[in-house]
Amino acid sequence: MNIQKGKTEFLMGIDKVDQLKTWLNEHPFINGIAFVGRSNVGKSSLINSLFGKATARVSKTPGRTRQVNIFNFIVEDREKKTIENFYLFDVPGYGHADVSKEMAANWQQLLDNFFQLCSQKILLLNIQDARHPLQEPDVLFQKYIHSFNLETYVLFNKIDKLKTQSERSRLKNLMPSIYKEFSWVKQIHFVSAEKGDNLDKVEQSIISFVKRNSDMQGYI
Ligand SMILES: Nc1nc2c(ncn2[C@@H]2O[C@H](COP(=O)(O)OP(=O)(O)OP(=O)(O)O)[C@@H](O)[C@H]2O)c(=O)[nH]1
Ligand SMILES: [Mg+2]
């Protein structure tokens, strides 16, 4: 099975809390995934690499994604000759210092409402910077997300920037403590949106998650 790159469709970007609430209330049981992480860690770049080139806007300046962007993506099963639709969310980055209080408050409200109201069948992909793992905002975010009971995978992006073997080992050695401290984290991947490292594994993990939930639909 594979994600049909190039068939991913932008549905809408929501920056108003009320509009987000309405949309989520109207879509309570949807299947899909959400990308969340600190500003500038490469969420939009990863989305583009996994779902097709020009899906999300990549920024030179951090804090660019200021709204919850909603997409539709398609998983194709070539053997069974079926296609199935899922939702993809690019959620605005947390932990960005240089914004006005007003904007920070709006972001927090968007995040709070997103996690309170989103379907329980959404997989959370928490993107972190491989060079700076578990920064304070990342740890705070992990603790914050715990109560929402969503399955979470952590993706350490920009591993192309880790030049030495020892830098890479240091990052990999964090795995046991992450699984221990954040028990809701079920998978950890080391990726590069730019070079494509390990994105095939992430793609298959995303597919198994969304398929597992959609196959169960008839039973609940
Ligand atoms: N070297 C390297 N650079 C990357 C990688 N992924 C993203 N970048 C760069 O990091 C910067 C930020 O990328 P974005 O994809 O816009 O990051 P974002 O997390 O969506 O940022 P916000 O929307 O502002 O929260 C851009 O300059 C990208 O080119 C990667 O795997 N390797
Ligand atoms: Mg972005």
Q: In a structure prediction context, what are the per-residue pLDDT tens digits for the chain, which is 220 residues long?
A: 999 998 999 999 999 999 999 999 999 999 999 999 998 899 989 999 999 876 666 655 555 557 899 999 999 998 888 999 999 999 988 876 667 777 778 888 999 999 999 999 999 999 999 999 999 999 999 999 999 999 999 999 999 999 999 999 999 999 999 999 999 999 999 999 999 999 999 999 999 999 998 876 655 4
Ligand 1 near 45 CB (within 6 A): yes
Residues with CB under 5 A from ligand 2 (ion): 43-44, 65
CA of 78 to the centre of ligand 2 (A): 31
The structure's pTM equals 0.93
Query: 181, 185, 135, 112: which is closest to 155 by C-alpha?
Result: 185
Residue located nearest, by CA, to atom 32 of ligand 1: 158
C-alpha distance across the termini of the chain, in Å: 25
Beta bridge partners, 188, equal: 154
The domain locations on the chain are 2-215
Query: Considering just the CA atoms, what is the radius of gyration of the chain in Å?
Result: 17
Structure tokens at 119: 């379907």
Q: Is the domain defined by 2-215 classed in CATH 3.40.50.2000?
A: no
CA of 45 to the centre of ligand 1 (A): 5
